[in-house]
Amino acid sequence: RSGRPEPPSSPPAAALGAPPQTLPAPLSRSFRPHHGRSRRGNSGLLPPSFGGGGSRRARGFGGPSRGGQGQDPAALSCLSAAQNGESSSAAGAHSNGLLSGASNGAGAGAGSGAPTTVPGSELGSLKKKKRLSQAEEDVIRLIGQHLHGLGLNQTVDLLMQESGCRLEHPSATKFRNHVMEGEWDKAENDLSELKALMHSPNAVVVSLSLALSLRMKFLLLQQKYLEYLEDGKVLEALQVLRGELTPLKYNTDRIHVLSGYLMCSHAEDLRAKAEWEGKGVSSRSRLLDKLQTYLPPSVMLPPRRLHTLLRQAVELQRDRCLYHNTKLDNSLDSVSLLLDHVCSRKQFPCYTQQILTEHCNEVWFCKFSNDGTKLATGSKDTTVIVWQVDPETHQLKLWRTLEGHAYGVSYLAWSPDDTYLIACGPDDCSELWLWNVQSGELRTKMSQSHEDSLTSVAWNPDGKRFVTGGQRGQFYQCDLDGNLLDSWEGVRVQCLWCLSDGRTVLASDTHQRIRGYNFEDLTDRNIVQEDHPIMSFTVSKNGRLALLNVATQGVHLWDLQDRVLVRKYQGVTQGFYTIHSCFGGHNEDFIASGSEDHKVYIWHKRSELPIAELTGHTRTVNCVSWNPCVPSLMASASDDGTVRIWGPAPFLDTQEVDGFNGMLY
């Protein structure tokens, strides 16, 4: 005993300003007291957290926490000190690790029962904990809201205590509880508190307008009214309607609708007419979601905010992905949040799947049916071949050959229901063939005059009429039997398209423009004006965008509604040959066109530079068609007499793929 060394001389812990055993509750971030300002790096003084009774608290937090169970209030209160940079023995051992006996060995192990002492030289190395930035606080609140939605409330409490943040304003919490419990009078009083809070000079967001305040109160009273009706309390509901809702003088039309619900004979009838889920957690949660949208995020976070941000991030990555060509579920369950969204080029229709060689001359046109199950190709060899698309393998096989087009076939159009197929010839052809695809029978062979030139055709959306015309000034509207319904004189038509309204026909003419013609009131108007001849054009499914192949210029994208040129796509070689481009892919996000340099070019709709140049054809590529139902399937027709079917990369090694498909740039 006599040989035991004396402890180092230091002031008693009680003399160092140790906190009392019972600490005040955690304060808000704006009113935090600054403890321990006398701390010096080499003074040898202990921080306030090492005062009397410290070993007992340290032992309480030395092991894994179980949601605060078994801890005295004083110990829990110490957690709030972490936000100011000071470390109580509890906070040090539990949250930030600065003073954990297990990690730094600065003192006796938690639970040893001995007073904790730290040499003054080691105190100098303790850095004040970084104050949380606004972004960091926002992230913590978002995480807390998400965890709360999962029911992990104890975890949320601990997160808020350790971080010093607040998930939402106490008034907002009280408001939420009163809404969920159906205490409508108290919820109305809470609205007054929230309004006063938002009018304070410290509010982050500008206060709500009177209209928004009325809207929130109206929604509360509406729920109150409906719940009274469902419970059969008609007199109470009538009092709410007359004494509370009507005096607001807000949305009187809705009040009239609500008054009609008084006539509902039973609760099921009420829920059906009001399109309301009924009294309970579900309808009140929906109400709360609506109410939250009117409150600034500093008071109450918007509902499921973290989930919304993650979904927006995923959607943005998909939009920026040049090769994204599949329809995915919008829910986050269908993607991994641990990796960025990236689509491989090998999933894109850049590789030759088939080469169709049944035509024996130049192939001038190709077009997939509207349901994507068939492909029609027209050739200089006077035939139309209809190909069947295998729904599993997407391989094409010859299904039917339609013959007798003496001048060749330069244009094809499927009827809206894919029952009929119209074939047109080149400039010197005055005839038009209307085929029944299913039976292979020629229904109509139309020719108004031997001087006509019927080189283009378009179906009316009703499938009972079509328009046709050519560069010699013919422009007709006909029925399925070829009977002339209307005509427009003096229009030299290069290409045609019927809009979904069933009245307007777009026609490109020899004046380098596209005009809209209304066959009902016989009016026309200019829509697009180019500086060079428009060789062909096509329109997107929604009727908003037009894709033009312009002589010597290439491919241009126009907005038909705003009548402006949106984009000029680069790379394609376009002279005075008639080349047909197309929209395609999922959501028509892509554009493809043939070219006189023997290639097929693909662009993303938003990018002027091509994302793929497909080689394989040996002469001009006249037409490209993208399957409307299989985004990974595309066809191209060429003067080399072949039709190429493009799809994703086959399961071959790189050398085999390059050897089979040619180079992909």
**CA-CA-CA-CA torsion for 352, 353, 358, 363, nearest 10 degrees?**
-40
Mean of the pLDDT values across residues 11-20?
40
pLDDT at 124 over 50: no
Collapsing DSSP to helix, strand or coil, 117 comes out as coil
Tokens in use for 170?
Answer: 């106490």
pLDDT at 38 over 50: no
Environment class of 244 (CB within 10 Å of its CB; exposed 0-12, middle 13-18, buried 19+): middle
pLDDT at 101 over 50: no
**CA-closest candidate to residue 184, choices 287, 301, 300:** 287
Collapsing DSSP to helix, strand or coil, 119 comes out as coil
pLDDT of residue 26: 44
585 compared with 22, residue with greater pLDDT: 585
- Which pLDDT band holds residue 330 (cuts at 50, 70, 90)? low
Tokens in use for 39?
Answer: 């701390």
Mean of the pLDDT values across residues 545-570?
96
**CA-CA-CA-CA torsion for 226, 232, 234, 240, nearest 10 degrees?**
-30
- Mean per-residue pLDDT over the chain, rounded: 79
44 compared with 128, residue with greater pLDDT: 128
407: CB partners within 8 A, 6+ apart: 382, 425, 426, 428, 429, 431
Q: Are the beta carbons of 550 and 556 closer than 8 angstroms?
A: yes
**pLDDT, tens digit (0-9, with 9 covering 90-100), for 439-471:** 999 999 988 777 788 999 999 999 999 999 988
98 compared with 28, residue with greater pLDDT: 28
196: CB partners within 8 A, 6+ apart: none
- Which pLDDT band holds residue 329 (cuts at 50, 70, 90)? low
pLDDT of residue 209: 53
Tokens in use for 295?
Answer: 């409150």
Q: Are the beta carbons of 97 and 91 closer than 8 angstroms?
A: no
pLDDT of residue 131: 85
pLDDT of residue 207: 46
**pLDDT, tens digit (0-9, with 9 covering 90-100), for 346-380:** 888 999 999 999 999 999 999 999 999 999 999 99
Q: Is the dihedral of CA 140, 146, 149, 154 positive or negative?
A: negative
CA separation for the pair 430, 427 (Å, rounded): 8
Global model pTM greater than 0.75: no
**pLDDT, tens digit (0-9, with 9 covering 90-100), for 511-528:** 999 999 998 888 899 999
- Which pLDDT band holds residue 601 (cuts at 50, 70, 90)? very high
Number of H helices, E strands in the chain: 16, 28
pLDDT at 475 over 50: yes
CA separation for the pair 601, 505 (Å, rounded): 28
pLDDT of residue 332: 77
Containing H/E element for 624?
A: strand 621-626
162 compared with 122, residue with greater pLDDT: 162
Q: Are the beta carbons of 642 and 617 closer than 8 angstroms?
A: yes
Pairing of strands 441-446, 432-436: antiparallel
User: Could you give the percent of the chain with pLDDT greater than 90?
Assistant: 52
Lowest mean pLDDT among 102-106, 176-180, 427-431: 102-106
